Amino acid sequence: MIEILNPDELARARVTGRLVADILQALKARTKVGTNLLDIDRWAAEMIAAAGARSCYVDYAPSFGRGPFGHYICTGVNDAVLHGLPYDYSLADGDLLKLDFAITKDGMAADSAISFIVGETRPPESVALIRATEQALDAAIAAAVPGARIGDISAAIASVLGAAGYPVNTEFGGHGIGTTMHQDPHVPNAGRAGRGYKLRPGLMLALEPWVMADTAQLVTDADGWTLRSATGCRTAHSEHTVAITDGGAEILTLPSSGPA
C-alpha cells in the first residue's frame, strides 16, 4: 500500500521525525567507550516512554527476522550493518556503530539511522565508509522531487556508492512510511533513472543507503536478525525519513539542534 499524507498527517509526521532524530542524537551523546549495547537499548526504551511514543520494532516480526525483534533499537557494530539485535557487548575505542530507530507517535511513524565511531580513534576506512553513505543519502534526498521516479533515487544512491568504490547490495533498501513503518514503494539502493513509481507531494519515504567495504554479500548472524558483511569488513548506514513536498524532499528526521 502507498499512502499519500494529508497536511494534518504531515504535521504529525514532522513531530515524530524530530523526536526520532533527537533521541538518536541523545543516544549518540551518551554512548562512550565501555557502553553496552543493552544500555543503549534500555535508554531508547526509556526515551520512547518519556515521549509518549511507541516502538515500531519491539513487536515487529517480519519475514526477514526470527520472531518479534524484542528490542527498541538496532545496534550494529563494525561488520553488523542491518537489523543489529542488541546483545551483551561493551563498545571499544574505534568501533563503528550503527543505530537504526523507528517509532510511532500520534499515529505517524518515522525511521532514521546514523553511523559513528566510538571513542577517540578515527580509522580512515571507517570515516570514508560513513561519509559515503551520508553523501549517498544527500544525493537520494536531492533526487526526491515531485515528478521524479523511484529509479532516480536508486540511481543517485548507487552512483555515489559506486564512485566511492563500494559494491552495492540491493537485498534491502528504503521504503514508503506513514501510519506504519514499512510500506510501498520499495526504494532499492540501485536502479535505473526514469523508472518506477512517480513521486508526488504527500508521499513519505525512508531513504537508507548502506554499504560494506569490500563485499556485496550479507550473512545472517546466529541470532536470526543481525545482518553482517560476509567477509567481516566494516559497514555503514545512513537513513532519513523525508516527505515529498511541492518544493522537494523535506527531511523530517533532523534534530532540533539542526544537522549533526
What string marks each residue from 195 to 234 as x (binds Co ion by CB under 5 A) or -?
-----------x-x--------------------------
C-beta of 100 vs 250, nearer to ligand MF3? 100
Interaction between residue 254 and ligand MF3 (CB under 6 A): no
Shortest CB 97 distance to Co ion, Å: 17
Shortest CB 60 distance to ligand MF3, Å: 4
Considering only 9, 41, 79, 111, the residue that binds Co ion (CB under 5 A) is 111
Length of the chain: 260
C-beta of 151 vs 176, nearer to ligand MF3? 176
- Judged by beta carbon distances under 5 to 8 A according to partner kind, the member of Co ion, ligand MF3, none in contact with residue 79 is none
Q: What part of residues 161-200 is at the interface with ligand MF3 (CB under 6 A)?
A: none
Shortest CB 186 distance to Co ion, Å: 11
What string marks each residue from 221 to 240 as x (binds ligand MF3 by CB under 6 A) or -?
------------------x-
Interaction between residue 83 and ligand MF3 (CB under 6 A): yes
Q: What part of residues 105-144 is at the interface with ligand MF3 (CB under 6 A)?
A: 111
Residue by residue, what is the 3-state secondary structure of the chain? CCCECCHHHHHHHHHHHHHHHHHHHHHHHHCCCCCEHHHHHHHHHHHHHHCCCEECCCCCCCCCCCCCCCCCCEEEECCEEECCCCCCCECCCCCEEEEEEEEEECCEEEEEEEEEECCCCCCHHHHHHHHHHHHHHHHHHHHCCCCCEHHHHHHHHHHHHHHCCCCCCCCCCEEECCCCCCEEEEECCCCCCCCCCECCCCEEEEECCEEECCCCCEEECCCCCCEEECCCCCEEECEEEEEEECCEEEECCCCCCCCC
Considering only 19, 40, 44, 65, the residue that binds ligand MF3 (CB under 6 A) is 65
The footprint of Co ion (CB under 5 A) covers: 111, 206, 208
